[in-house]
Structure 1
Amino acid sequence: MQLTLDIPEKFFAYQTPKELIRLLKLNTAIDLYRRGKLSAGAAAEFVGDLDRYEFLYECRQHGIEPQTYDNVEELQAEIDNIHAARC
């Protein structure tokens, strides 16, 4: 799927369109991860040029700690979601 945004040219004074696109994707992925909507792996895939560990590093740079699970059921649900996404 492709999404089109209309961004005024003045916002490209200090960055290229490619840099702004990456920044928007990274910040969106970090927010979705923080809210528990994406796993670290899915968020890294969303950004496109990061692996899971690089994404977690970016999260730390933004003050976001890695997600933890309160119980085994939450962890198992995450594992099941990952397996379902791969099939």
Structure 2
Amino acid sequence: MQLTLEIPEKFFAYQTPAELARLLKLNTAIDLYRHGKLSASAAAEFVGDLDRYEFLYECRHRGVEPQTYENTEELQAEIDMLAKNLA
């Protein structure tokens, strides 16, 4: 799926469209992660050019603490997703 945004040219004075697009994706991924909508791995995949550890570094840099698992089912779902991605 592709999403198109119209952004006025003046916002590209200090960054390229690609840099702004990456920043928007990163900030969106961090917000979704903060609210429990994405795991760290899924959020890193959403951004596209980060691994899980780089994503968690970006979160920490912005004051977002790593999420913990509330139950074993959440942890197992994360393990299953990682295993699927490695296969």
- TM-score calculated relative to the size of structure 1: 0.87
Give me the whole-angstrom Cα distance separating, in 2, the residues matched to 1:73 and 1:15. Answer: 42
Note the residue ranges of structure 2 that are not aligned, 5 or more in a row: none
Deviation for aligned residue 1:75? 2.0
Deviation for aligned residue 1:77? 4.0
**Counterpart AA for 2:20:** L
**Equivalent residue runs for 1:15-54 within 5 Å:** 15-54=15-54
Deviation for aligned residue 1:69? 1.4
Deviation for aligned residue 1:52? 0.4
- TM-score calculated relative to the size of structure 2: 0.87
Runs of 4+ in 1 over 4 A off after TM superposition: none
Note the residue ranges of structure 1 that are not aligned, 5 or more in a row: none
| Partner in structure 1 of residue 57 of structure 2 | 57
Identity, in percent, stands at 83
Give me the whole-angstrom Cα distance separating, in 2, the residues matched to 1:77 and 1:41. Answer: 12
| Partner in structure 2 of residue 74 of structure 1 | 74
